[in-house]
């Protein structure tokens, strides 16, 4: 798993991540789905400005409509799966998930940090606050697989090794 954060652009990029991690970013936010594709890259839905159904207006999914998020989960677990999801939020923030890579842009840096730290913890990176701080300060992409499952008191030399290897790769 690789993680980067651009403070200048307020964008995170996470590689080798499960699509279920997007749910954290959708929860309690109004959004519209711009495009969905299955794992074979077949188009499931693309917003053409007319909404899901012919002659309907574009449908914004309200922050309190958990049923829509549940529908996305069902697509993820379906036979054909969900390989690509492009989402636009009501304030022009966005989320793109494709090929096991998640890209999220949020204007609210604190909210982006909180949701990202929670997402990293959910994925077994219990030192997620430290990971965020390192990426914010150094502006490098960290390769994190060797830190999975470790807590702050256990990282020691591994963190230095990850940082140094990531620094070399980013050069």
Q: Tell me: the pLDDT tens digits for 108-122?
A: 999 999 999 999 999
Is 96 within 8 Å of 31 (Cβ atoms)?
no
Q: How does residue 56 score in pLDDT terms, banded at 50, 70 and 90?
A: very low
Q: What's the average model confidence in pLDDT over 86-99?
A: 92
Does 60 have pLDDT greater than 90? no
Q: Taking the mean position of all CA atoms in its chain, how far away is CA 152?
A: 23
What is residue 123's predicted lDDT score, i.e. its pLDDT? Answer: 93
pTM of the model: 0.86
What is residue 156's predicted lDDT score, i.e. its pLDDT? Answer: 83
Side-chain-side CA neighbours of residue 29 (13 Å): 23
What is residue 148's predicted lDDT score, i.e. its pLDDT? Answer: 92
- To the nearest whole number, what is the mean pLDDT of the chain? 86
What is residue 55's predicted lDDT score, i.e. its pLDDT? Answer: 41
**Residue 170 CB coordination number (10 Å):** 13
Alpha-carbon distances of 76 from 1, 59, 69, rounded to whole Å = 20, 21, 11
Side-chain-side CA neighbours of residue 166 (13 Å): 23
Q: How does residue 67 score in pLDDT terms, banded at 50, 70 and 90?
A: low
What is residue 82's predicted lDDT score, i.e. its pLDDT? Answer: 86
Does 129 have pLDDT greater than 90? yes
Does 64 have pLDDT greater than 70? no
What is residue 136's predicted lDDT score, i.e. its pLDDT? Answer: 94
Is 63 within 8 Å of 28 (Cβ atoms)?
yes
State percent of the chain over pLDDT 70. 89
Tell me how far apart the alpha carbons of residues 129 and 115 are, in angstroms, rounded to a whole number: 11
Is 142 within 8 Å of 2 (Cβ atoms)?
yes
89: nearest Cα among 19, 7, 25: 25
């Amino acid at each position: 798993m690789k993680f980067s954060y651009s403070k200048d652009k307020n964008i995170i990029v996470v590689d080798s991540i499960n699509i279920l991690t997007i749910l954290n970013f959708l929860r309690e936010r109004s959004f519209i789905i711009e495009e969905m594709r299955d794992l074979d890259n077949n188009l499931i839905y693309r917003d053409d400005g007319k909404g899901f159904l012919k002659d309907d207006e574009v449908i914004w999914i309200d922050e309190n409509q958990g049923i829509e998020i549940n529908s996305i989960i069902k697509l993820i677990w379906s036979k054909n799966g969900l390989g690509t999801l492009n989402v636009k939020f009501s304030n022009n923030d966005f989320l793109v998930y494709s090929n096991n890579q998640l890209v999220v842009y949020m204007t609210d840096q604190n909210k982006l940090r909180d949701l990202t730290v929670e997402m990293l913890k959910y994925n077994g990176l219990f030192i997620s606050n430290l990971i965020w701080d390192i990426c914010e300060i150094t502006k490098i992409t960290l390769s994190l697989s060797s830190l999975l499952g470790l807590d702050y008191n256990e990282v020691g030399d591994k963190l230095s090794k990850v940082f140094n290897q990531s620094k070399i790769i980013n050069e």
